[in-house]
Structure 1
């Protein structure tokens, strides 16, 4: 019924017609998803449908045409529009992202896109067989693409499969981005569990990739530290351990879950739990934060990337950490900071909050209370729906109904905005789009949580690292 309502709006809403006219690929694309404009009077459930569906278009319509991988972003040249808003000497833009060209695809973002595709099939935005063909296209490409001991690079050329270096030393394996990819692949393998030849083929391809990914290679052969990067030209010269607490908890869980190249519990304890950045224990705005080295918790993607697959509810570890408390409290602290608004930025309010990594008038920045530049990322509040549903819905309605003429587009909400600077992004990033689709779905149905948490290998990995889950 809800789809009929949406299609009715598509037919009669002028803004929707304009969106559809501007959209690319709709005439020939399988299972095309027409974009919609601002539709008044939606119920909460209908609004969530519209936002999830339109955000998913990024992965469905804007995927790389050769490989099906998720493009890193939808501005693929230097972000010159940032210069329009530079008024102060210290506001020099940071072009650390958005400079890799139109072929640049994100390995982690592709994992998020795969999770989003599962949501799309389950909600019948696209057909199961059509989606499966897309996923097969992705794995067939990745099987032949650059990888290093089974671990993929951060960025990849979506036409050739060759590594796009992130930096002079970062030109090889990225174990964190690869863990996001496998979060998506393993979950899709669990979802597409039928007996059709194509589903069996897809599962076999994922198994092939999963069996050769050598997570333990990144330990340098001992149980002291797990390293983020390895390069055939530069070895471990990046010398950057994966330590926490941050977005990389899933990396340890996936690495411990491998049936063939698993890391040890000792390595997890030494490199993660015993790191200086793991525990917090302070209170902010009267809210206790169990984990994390950042004051006020840091950017909110810390509580979103890992927990796209891992259900924090009922999840504890042998150090006594309650991960439901961690994820919710960090989110509440971030919101409370925005309401407090110590820098008096325009627009910050109970219905306009969320500091996390994303685009700003200065380029790509890991926004957080410690680095607050007046920029709100819609993904921060929207990907927090499982933790703060009432507050996230407040923010969603404000973003959509009040600011929609400035930030709503064919791929959902623009990546960021600053009312103080009168700056509104023109961009969408794979790593910010995916969590919106998936985390709203986890709030609504627990779909991805239920799939991922029942994977036998993941259960084994959680148990190995000392986690206990009620799911």
Structure 2
């Protein structure tokens, strides 16, 4: 097993001050992504910083939520935030809905990727049920936050409501009980459904259940959660999902502390506790480091969907190593090629701050993974991969990704103030969805 000595012997390159100062700086620098990677006409947010890349609808939903945080943190005026959010909501409401190949969406859903300048479908991608859900979660968050009696804030509430009501969740069932993962105009529904194994689909099902226009039957949700099985890893029982993002995305908007559905009641722990256990398992996996990746240890861990050094097979120190491009990496069962994502650690901050904060500090002060102060952390790095870069710790992703930035901004805020969780507790559709899914207890019983 490789030791962590290399990490401990590195000089402190960027002292961060107190933990509070460190998190505040990281949040503000990451927030800049949503100010800079935006189209001035459509309001759409780029999926990544690589030139020519389209927008991601999920990232755009995260941007809406981040703009609210910007107002709360006084790094964005309320007027500016309203202008940005209205631009996005107006665009989506007015955009083309239909079976045309270049439409923005259909049946209230939207294509996974859209061209930045006009919102047309990009890359022959699918109409995405989960990414539409992440977008609409941001829209509903804005509707719950902007409560003032004036024309602009009333329009935010109206547009968000209309966009949500337009989503035909029943159509997305495709004559089944569970929701299909996507649809294409020429070939129809994708073959895969959100019908087995724990995933980021939790927020999608809750929004589909709470719909006032096209709600799905709770049977589908119960069928999905009936497939969940508790796994024991490192003497810890939890609901397994390898990549950390699965344990984080729904939690950006929903406070799962103390509320339980039928699976939780049977398992004996809620989904928040499950994410806490998953976070610890990722760290323990790195400490044990059975695959002997460079620098893995107590302060270097965190596997998720991330950029990678490329699809290559190399022999390093006599050992054959297989590396990947952008894939969903996971622990403890892989895949893993030594690529670590510091943003994924930050997104676990509310679950386990006692192990996350030190790891964030290590990524900044020891690994120098926030060198430019533009958009926060580097997306991912791989100290095992033999590549010479400005960073002395091996391969570092040259791009920033919106799907990384949103969780950093939002989960730091939920850790500090719980504000996004509290805002969403004012969303009647979310409450309805949770109750229809069978959740009870905790804060939900006090509504």
What range describes the TM-score normalised by the shorter chain of this pair?
Answer: 0.7 to 0.9
| Contact 2:14–2:364 (CA under 8 A) maintained in structure 1 | no
CA apart distance, 1:404? 2.0
CA apart distance, 1:409? 3.7
The one of 165, 175, 188 aligned to 2:123: 165
- 1:177 pairs with 2:110: no
SS at match of 2:110: coil
SS at match of 1:467: coil
Aligned runs of 1:327-338 on 2, under 5 Å? Answer: 327-338=275-286
CA apart distance, 1:233? 2.2
The one of 401, 412, 433 aligned to 1:461: 433
Cα separation, 1, equivalents of 2:305 and 2:107: 29
The one of 109, 114, 118 aligned to 1:151: 109
Cα separation, 1, equivalents of 2:130 and 2:408: 20
SS at match of 1:187: helix
SS at match of 1:180: helix
- 1:40 pairs with 2:15: yes
Do the aligned partners of residues 445 and 469 (structure 1) sit closer, same or farther apart at CA in structure 2, a change above 3 Å counting? farther
SS at match of 2:191: coil
The one of 213, 216, 227 aligned to 1:260: 213
SS at match of 2:292: coil
Cα separation, 2, equivalents of 1:116 and 1:395: 23
Partner of residue 240, structure 1: 192
| Contact 1:107–1:178 (CA under 8 A) maintained in structure 2 | yes
SS at match of 1:185: helix
Q: Which segments of 5 or more consecutive residues in structure 1 lack a partner in the other structure?
A: 1-37, 77-100
The one of 392, 406, 423 aligned to 1:434: 406
- 1:121 pairs with 2:74: no
Cα separation, 2, equivalents of 1:339 and 1:105: 37
Do the aligned partners of residues 44 and 230 (structure 1) sit closer, same or farther apart at CA in structure 2, a change above 3 Å counting? same
Partner of residue 350, structure 2: 386
| Contact 2:304–2:329 (CA under 8 A) maintained in structure 1 | yes
Q: Number of residues paired by the alignment?
A: 394
CA apart distance, 1:433? 0.9
| Contact 2:253–2:421 (CA under 8 A) maintained in structure 1 | yes
CA apart distance, 1:56? 0.6
Length-normalised TM-score, structure 1? 0.81
| Contact 1:355–1:376 (CA under 8 A) maintained in structure 2 | yes
Do the aligned partners of residues 406 and 50 (structure 1) sit closer, same or farther apart at CA in structure 2, a change above 3 Å counting? closer
Partner of residue 193, structure 1: 147
| Contact 2:370–2:376 (CA under 8 A) maintained in structure 1 | no
Aligned runs of 1:34-183 on 2, under 5 Å? Answer: 40-76=15-51, 101-102=52-53, 104-145=54-95, 146-165=104-123, 167=125, 170=126, 173-183=127-137
Q: Aligned-residue CA RMSD in angstroms?
A: 1.5
Length-normalised TM-score, structure 2? 0.85
SS at match of 1:282: strand
Cα separation, 1, equivalents of 2:114 and 2:38: 13
Aligned runs of 1:284-299 on 2, under 5 Å? Answer: 284-289=233-238, 291-292=239-240, 297-299=241-243
Cα separation, 2, equivalents of 1:404 and 1:248: 34
| Contact 1:309–1:453 (CA under 8 A) maintained in structure 2 | no
Q: Which segments of 5 or more consecutive residues in structure 2 lack a partner in the other structure?
A: 1-12, 96-103, 311-324, 386-393
| Contact 1:257–1:461 (CA under 8 A) maintained in structure 2 | yes
Partner of residue 378, structure 2: 414
SS at match of 1:288: strand
CA apart distance, 1:154? 0.5
SS at match of 1:184: helix
